Copies of this chain bind each other. A is one copy, B any other.
């Protein structure tokens, strides 16, 4: 998706340790028009996926998932990283390593909003190692739901996430692919 790639090329900053800062677009400041365009693109890509629900992880997944939900007219559920007081006693919880934080984070979904038989489209901001997305897959499976597709705004192809997701046998679609950040230069694929 050229629009997103151009913005990343112009505004993305490589911080070292494999971290790409896109805080002006997605992770702190959000450009709603750009997210709207990305949501429309995902809605087009996944129009025949049969998804009944979109699943993402707070915080950075919310914007792309919400805009995809608007265009697909599907409810969005975002996995919480801490358990709010409003959650019931029994929840689905899994743990995944955080790429930017360097520690493990919980991903928690209430059984109220993820039910057996649902067909789930996972949308997130990054596909890097795939660890967060695999965590969301485990939550869906724990609920008896079926993952029918995975979409991410930005794929870092050199971190192996795509092969980590291969065994799911579902479409994995990303809008921009970064093939290298070596020598502080972004290469797109």
On A, residues with C-beta under 8 Å from B are 13, 15, 19, 21, 23-24, 27-33, 35-36, 58-59, 62-63, 66-67, 69-70, 73-78, 80, 84-87, 100-101, 109-110, 112-113
> Who on chain B is nearest to A77 by CB?
B29
- List the number of copies, as a whole number: 2
Say what secondary structure dominates the interface of chain A.
mixed
> Who on chain B is nearest to A29 by CB?
B113
Q: List 13 A-B contacts (CB under 8 A).
A: A23-B84, A23-B87, A23-B113, A28-B113, A29-B76, A32-B66, A32-B76, A33-B73, A36-B70, A59-B80, A62-B62, A66-B66, A66-B67
Given contacts A33-B73, A110-B23, contact A100 B84 (CB under 8 A): yes
B32 near A80 (CB under 8 angstroms)? no
Shortest CB distance A154–B (Å): 14
> A28 — which chain B residues lie within 8 A by C-beta?
77-78, 80, 84, 86-87, 109-110, 113
A75 near B19 (CB under 8 angstroms)? no
In angstroms, Cα B16 to Cα A92, docked, is: 24
Shortest CB distance A160–B (Å): 21
Q: Choose one: B15, B86, B109; the contact of A21 (CB below 8 Å).
A: B86
> A113 — which chain B residues lie within 8 A by C-beta?
23-24, 28-29
